[in-house]
């Protein structure tokens, strides 16, 4: 057990899984630091240094710097997975995923089904999500609902260093294609995390905080925003139960429904754009299957339906904050 950041946990999970299984390889743009890097061979370790140190340990046959062509290297990773390797491809920002949709949606996600269950595609695509990084509209989106929509893909969205390590290990050990979303503002978050390898099963929500009055379902960084709101509300005697689904596909609907059946109130906090996001999906789930338990209308807290603004003042207004979450919770109690 030692203090580790979210970013260190990603690195440690990759290293431990690579030691554990020689079929695990990693690939992506600048994940070691190739052409154009300042000379040494482990120069960069990815745009934010997450994979730094893996190249010296595992070498160029397992740590592959790729050309700037997402369609090519994600396609290569999917093909390698179908033929015996367990690749982890890093696609810098989820915003760039558009150029390799076919490889993900129509190939990786379909192989098991199309080949009568005889093919497995154990590929993981790691990618950064989230606003608040002053990186403008093309580097700030939370596109996980798009991937959650596709049958055959698993979607993992960790909110803490402990979860990041255990969920990434589980994603790599899983025989299906997994898209692993890392919120860039969580990279510096730190907590005590076991040094030994461990895996957290995909499809198990985490009840981050227990409370009797209102259920808040929140994802990624919004778990922390919800926790801040819950602290404030606790001072007024309002007990919030926070459920972090951790994976949106498979979704642990049982834990969400059980919580709402207990509290009778639901607020869903989702940083993804508001139409067809996880907030609408989870609200629909609860409205359909736990309507009788609801004592008040469901509230959703999401950004407005606009691109993520570049102006700092506007970006800060765009991302849901604790005050908005607290307000939504209070409205379920009116």
Partner 1 sequence: MSGAEIHALIMPKWGLSMTEGTVVDWLVGEGAEVTPRDEVVEIETTKITNVIEAPAAGVLRRRVAGAGETLPVGALLAVVADASVPDDAIDAFIADHDAAEALAADEAEATPAEPTMVEVGGRRLRYLAAGQGDSLPLLLLHGFGGDLNGWMFNQPALAAGRPTYALDLPGHGGSSKEVGEGSLAAFAEAVVGFADALNLARTHLVGHSLGGAVALEAALSAPGRVASLTLIASAGLGSEIDGDYIEGFVAATRRKTIKPFLERLFADASLVTRDLVDDVLKYKRLDGVDAALRTVADAVFPGGRQATVLRDRLSGLAMPVQVIWGAEDRIVPAAHAAGLDANAAVHVVAGAGHMVHMEAAGEVNRLIEAFVRGVG
Does position 1 interact with partner 1 (CB under 8 A)? The reply is: yes
Total site size for partner 1, rule CB under 8 A: 15
Q: Is 291 one of the binding residues for partner 1 (CB under 8 A)?
A: no
CA 177, CA 280: separation in Å to the nearest integer?
A: 25
* CB 131, CB 160: distance < 8 Å: no
Note whether 191 binds partner 1 by CB under 8 A. Answer: no
**DSSP-based three-state secondary structure for 194:** coil
Which residue reads 């690939």 in tokens?
27
Q: Is 192 in the site for partner 1 (CB under 8 A)?
A: yes
Fill in the per-residue mask, 26 to 55: x = in contact with partner 1 (CB under 8 A), - = not in contact. Answer: ------------------------------
Residues 131-170 that bind partner 1 (CB under 8 A): 162, 166
- Which residues does 44 contact at the CB level (< 8 Å), separation at least 6? 30, 31, 32, 33, 37, 52
- Is residue 279 within 8 Å of residue 302, measured between CB atoms? yes
* Interface with partner 1, residue 210, by CB under 8 A: yes
Nearer to partner 1, 17 or 176 (CB): 17
Q: What is the distance between the alpha carbons of residues 93 and 108, in angstroms, rounded to a whole number?
A: 19
Q: Which range of residues in 77-85, 141-149, 194-202, 278-286 is near partner 1 by CB under 8 A?
A: 194-202
Least distance to partner 1 from the beta carbon of 198, Å? 4
Give me the DSSP letters along 105-157. IIIITTHHHHTTT------EEEEEE-S-SS--TTS----HHHHHTSTT-EEE-
Residue with tokens 């359909």: 288
Using the rule CB under 8 A, is 76 a contact of partner 1?
no
Q: How far is the CB of 108 from partner 1 (least distance, A)?
A: 27
Tell me which stretch binds partner 1 (CB under 8 A): 88-96, 107-115, 127-135, 196-204: 196-204
Q: Does 234 bind partner 1 (CB under 8 A)?
A: no
Distance between CA atoms of residues 103 and 159, nearest Å: 27
198, 287, 323, 331: which one binds partner 1 (CB under 8 A):
198
183 is annotated as an active-site residue: no
The site for partner 1 (CB under 8 A) is made up of: 1, 20, 162, 166, 192, 194, 196-201, 204, 207, 210
């Amino acid at each position: 057990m030692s203090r580790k950041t979210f970013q260190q946990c990603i690195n440690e999970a990759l290293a431990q899984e690579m030691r554990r299984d020689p079929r695990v390889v990693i690939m992506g743009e600048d994940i070691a630091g190739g052409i154009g890097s300042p000379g040494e061979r482990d120069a960069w370790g990815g745009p934010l240094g997450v994979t730094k140190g893996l190249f010296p340990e595992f070498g160029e046959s397992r740590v592959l710097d790729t050309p700037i062509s997402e369609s090519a290297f994600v396609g290569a990773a999917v093909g390698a997975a179908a033929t015996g390797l367990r690749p982890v491809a890093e696609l810098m920002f989820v915003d760039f995923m558009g150029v390799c949709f076919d490889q993900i949606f129509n190939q990786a996600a379909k192989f098991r089904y199309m080949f009568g269950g005889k093919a497995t595609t154990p590929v993981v695509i790691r990618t950064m999500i989230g606003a608040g990084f002053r990186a403008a509209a093309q580097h700030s989106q939370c596109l996980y609902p798009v991937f959650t929509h596709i049958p055959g893909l698993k979607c993992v969205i960790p909110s803490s260093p402990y979860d990041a390590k255990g969920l990434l290990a589980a994603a790599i050990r899983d025989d299906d294609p997994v898209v692993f979303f890392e919120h860039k503002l969580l990279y510096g978050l730190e907590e005590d995390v076991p040094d030994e390898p461990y895996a957290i099963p995909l499809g198990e929500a985490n009840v981050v905080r227990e409370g009797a009055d209102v259920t808040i379902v929140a994802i990624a960084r919004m778990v922390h925003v919800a926790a801040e709101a819950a602290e404030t509300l606790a001072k007024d005697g309002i007990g919030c139960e926070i459920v972090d689904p951790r994976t949106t596909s498979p979704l642990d609907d049982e834990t969400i429904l059980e919580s709402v059946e207990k509290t009778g109130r639901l607020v869903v906090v989702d940083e993804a754009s508001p139409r067809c996001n996880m907030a609408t999906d989870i609200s629909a789930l609860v409205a359909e299957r736990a309507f009788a338990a609801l004592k008040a209308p469901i509230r959703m807290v999401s950004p407005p339906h606009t691109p993520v603004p570049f102006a700092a003042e506007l970006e800060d207004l765009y991302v849901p904050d604790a005050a908005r979450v607290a307000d939504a919770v209070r409205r379920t109690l009116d």
